Amino acid sequence: MGKKLKIMLVVLVLLLIGGIVFLTRNRDNYSAKIDDDKIVEEFQYADAYFPGDVNGNNKLDANDYKLIVRYVIKTATLNANQLKAADANGDGKVNPVDYKTIVRKILNHDTNPPSGSVTPSTPSSLGGGSGGGLQYFGYYGPGTDDYDVNKVPYREFLNFQKQINSNVIVLIGFCDQILNDIKNDPVLKTRKIFVHAGEVFWAKDSAAYTVMYNFIERNKNKIDGIMVDEPYWNWESDGFPSNHQYEKNNFIAKSREFRQKYPNMKLIGILAYTELNKNLSTMQEYYQNFTDLGFDYYERWSSQYGVYLDKLSQIANHNQDLWIVNYSFAYTASSALSENEYINILQGQYDLARSNSRVVGILPFILYDADNMKGFRWLVNTKRYTNLLNKHKEIANNIC
pLDDT in the model for residue 25: 43
Conformational region of residue 131, where left means phi above 0, alpha means psi within -120 to 50, and beta covers everything else: left
180 in Cβ contact with 158 (< 8 Å): no
pLDDT in the model for residue 220: 92
pLDDT in the model for residue 53: 83
Sorted by where each starts, the structural domains of the chain and their CATH numbers stand as 10-112 (1.10.1330.10), 134-399 (3.20.20.80)
Quote the distance between the C-alpha of residue 296 and its chain's center. 15
330: helix, strand or coil: strand
182 in Cβ contact with 188 (< 8 Å): yes
C-alpha to C-alpha distance for 363 and 290, rounded to whole angstroms: 18
pLDDT in the model for residue 203: 59
Beta-bridge partner residues of 141: none
C-alpha to C-alpha distance for 372 and 78, rounded to whole angstroms: 46
Report the chain (400 residues): mean pLDDT per 10 consecutive residues: 56 47 39 36 44 79 82 77 80 82 76 49 44 84 66 75 87 87 91 84 68 91 91 66 64 87 92 88 90 88 90 92 83 72 91 93 76 71 84 92
pLDDT in the model for residue 64: 82
pLDDT in the model for residue 104: 79
349: helix, strand or coil: helix
pLDDT in the model for residue 400: 87
Q: What is the pTM of this model?
A: 0.67
Conformational region of residue 99, where left means phi above 0, alpha means psi within -120 to 50, and beta covers everything else: alpha
Annotate 142-166 with DSSP letters as a single string: EEGGG--TT-HHHHHHHHHHHHHT-
pLDDT in the model for residue 6: 56
362: helix, strand or coil: strand
269 in Cβ contact with 63 (< 8 Å): no
